[in-house]
Amino acid sequence: MTNSKLQNPWLAERTLLTSLLILTVVPILSGCDSSQSEPQSAMRQMRRVVALLHTHLRMQGRKGFPESDHRATDGTVTCSWRLTVLDQAEDGFDLEQSWKSPVNQMGSERDAKWFAVTSRSNPSPFAQVFGLVGAGTAFTEYEFTKERDLSDAEPDAILLIDAKNQLIRWQEPGDIHVNSLRYSHSAFRDLEPNYSDGFLIAFVDGAVWRIKKDVPKDVIEPFFTLEGAKSHDREVELAPYALDKVPPLPKVDGKYVFPETGK
């Protein structure tokens, strides 16, 4: 249990976030909604992860997203943001210890469902949802250490990308660096999607699109960064390559909230 959980001023907020996780985990544990295709269900789950990122630090009265690689008090990188955002609501994790430690492996299969974009009835232990990180990206530029208000973030910037891998566990540090996409001949050349026809991408505002994997690099690259997205329109330039869409998160008092609860 981390020290932040012992601070009474945040106890009520932590309890609320726990309640939100319980309410939103029901469709995750039951697998795909029978009324939706599996990609559509996965897209809605990815939108919940964006909501979790927006809610995580706000419940502590702080601004921004968590660090992509969480650091213990001694500066050691211990785990991914994927574990950090669940730690705020669940007892048992210790972010001062490595993601490999037994305490951080508790509930591993259950919590892996949060970050699974394929079958959540049999979730992969490997990460399938990655932050897009690096200079200029929303994930990095709105890291909590910079104390920037997320309500000011460019909504069209890409925040998360899905990709298939057999190397990085969901608790383990590891994301997609913007430079790895910029320096490829095609944006997603070195990535394999979980769905053969395209990648799932989540924007800052929680909208999730399934994009053709052969989308031209010059079309999608502006949306990798806040400045690029600010001068481009995804509905005009990127939409022709979208196979499916899930709408943005609702906003309450200028803040993005969970779609199921409005909180």
pLDDT digits (tens, 9 = 90+) for 143-172: 998 888 888 899 999 999 999 877 899 999
Asked if the structure places residue 39 within a domain, the reply is yes
| SS3 at position 13 | helix
φ, ψ for residue 201, nearest 5 deg = -125, 135
What pLDDT is attached to residue 35? 45
Domain span at residue 161 reads 3-252
pTM of the model: 0.85
Asked if the structure places residue 257 within a domain, the reply is no
Give me the residues paired with residue 206 across strands: none
Give the whole-number percent of the chain exceeding pLDDT 90: 48
Q: How confident is the model at residue 223 (pLDDT cuts 50, 70, 90)?
A: very high
Asked if the structure places residue 258 within a domain, the reply is no
Burial of residue 102, with CB atoms counted within 10 A of its CB: 0-12 exposed, 13-18 middle, 19 or more buried: exposed
Give the whole-number percent of the chain exceeding pLDDT 70: 80
Dihedral over alpha carbons 63, 141, 189, 217 (to 10 degrees): 110
What pLDDT is attached to residue 202? 97
Asked if the structure places residue 262 within a domain, the reply is no
Q: How far apart are the first and last CA of the chain?
A: 25
What pLDDT is attached to residue 63? 86
Are 212 and 243 in contact, with CB atoms under 8 Å apart? Answer: yes
Asked if the structure places residue 87 within a domain, the reply is yes
Q: Report how many domains make up the chain.
A: 1
Asked if the structure places residue 263 within a domain, the reply is no
Asked if the structure places residue 44 within a domain, the reply is yes
Q: How confident is the model at residue 123 (pLDDT cuts 50, 70, 90)?
A: confident
Whose tokens are 């985990």? That residue is 25
